[in-house]
Amino acid sequence: MPEITTPPPRRRSRVAIEAVDGDVQGAVERALDAVDWTRQIPVGADVSLKVNLGWDLFIPGSITSPMVTEAAIRAIRGRVGKIYVVEADQVLEDIESAFVRSGTKAVCDRTGARWVNMTRAPTVTIDRPDNKVLRRIEIPEILQHTRRITLPVMKTHAKTGLSGAIKNQWGCLPTMRHEYHLVLDDALAELTEIVRPDLSLMDATVALEGNGPKNGHPVIADRILASCDPVALDTVQAVQMGLDPRSVTHLQRCAERGLGNHDLDLIDVLGLDPHDTALKFKPARHNAVSRVETILRGSMMKRLFFNTPIFTGCLLGAKAYYRAWTLFRARRAWDEVRRHPLYGAQWQREWRGLTGGNDK
């Protein structure tokens, strides 16, 4: 009889959930220490902090907060080499404007971190002929010679259910990455295999529910999550948001490729209990822009709208939609967050500039 062998046990993952309790810096440092981040980032290594700045007319909860970005920089800078804060343009957004208006530029000025718009940075070509979607892609060169730390936001997403550590890496692709929206789950898994974060630190101070990743509604979640396994972190994030992790297809795709654990039985959660402290987030639905794009991409008119000059008109229409939404709907979100004793102050100037508000 053939010898019966037992497969080796799968490696376990750790995810930390720390309550902020009035001290963002302390929560960030406790979360990083809990997942033993120094074993993942060598002494003196240059690092890239991939923030989420995907909207220049942002509301709190839709982007990585400057408070968390600064806390992350201060927590690691005594051990690492150069620190780069990185993000890339989108077809709808001016990332340079988002960098300034979000307060991230002020953070870089205070801490000495270096800003890199990856759309303008040198790239390297990656060939993966066995991939389903990303068989040849251009990746920013900086991600090849630095350790990658991703700083996602806890938020919902109309196309992927949630936006977390895996989805935050989407900004590592060139500007026209929207071309992959109909095959997003496979594309995300293939991209993660190429630029998998070495460390993930999630900003769940002000989260976003509803029609994420942009025009949802802020939620004061008051916590920080961290892990050296981005798939495990997003799996625990789903539980924290009141979502079934099994419903998040791109996480399953990543797990199938061996990129992390999607099985809660293989994840050790340190700090807050993910079930006892779960928040019931409103799920995302497609807003007008996302719904129209999805319909057109699946239709016979795809080439007409996305591969001809008509696309420029589509972009103008989408930009007009988000500006109108900001004008008529963003005030409520800003009013709620700017009154918060800890989180409100970091965005006071931006709130006045974006909504025409005042401090009265």
Q: How far apart are CA 331 and CA 319, in angstroms?
A: 18
Structural domain contains residue 228: yes
pLDDT in tens, 49-85: 999 998 888 999 999 999 999 999 999 999 999 999 9
Does the residue 312 lie in any domain? no
Domain limits at 46?
13-285
- Is residue 324 situated within a structural domain? no
CA pair distance 216, 164, nearest whole angstrom: 15
- Average pLDDT of the residues of the chain: 88
Alpha carbon distance 28, 25 (integer Å): 5
CA dihedral 82→191→174→184, nearest 10 degrees, is -140
Task: Flag whether 132 is in a domain.
Answer: yes
pLDDT at residue 2 tops 90: no
- Evaluate whether residue 332 is within a structural domain: no
Judge if pTM exceeds 0.85: yes
Residue 64: both structure tokens together: 């990585």
In this prediction, residue 7 carries a pLDDT of 46
CATH assignment at residue 157: 3.40.50
User: Quick one: pLDDT at residue 268?
Assistant: 98
Total structural domains within the chain: 1
Q: Is residue 171 part of a domain?
A: yes
The 10s digit of each residue's pLDDT in 216-273 is 999 999 999 999 999 999 999 999 999 999 999 999 999 999 999 999 999 999 999 9
**Residue 319 in domain:** no
Inside any domain, residue 107: yes
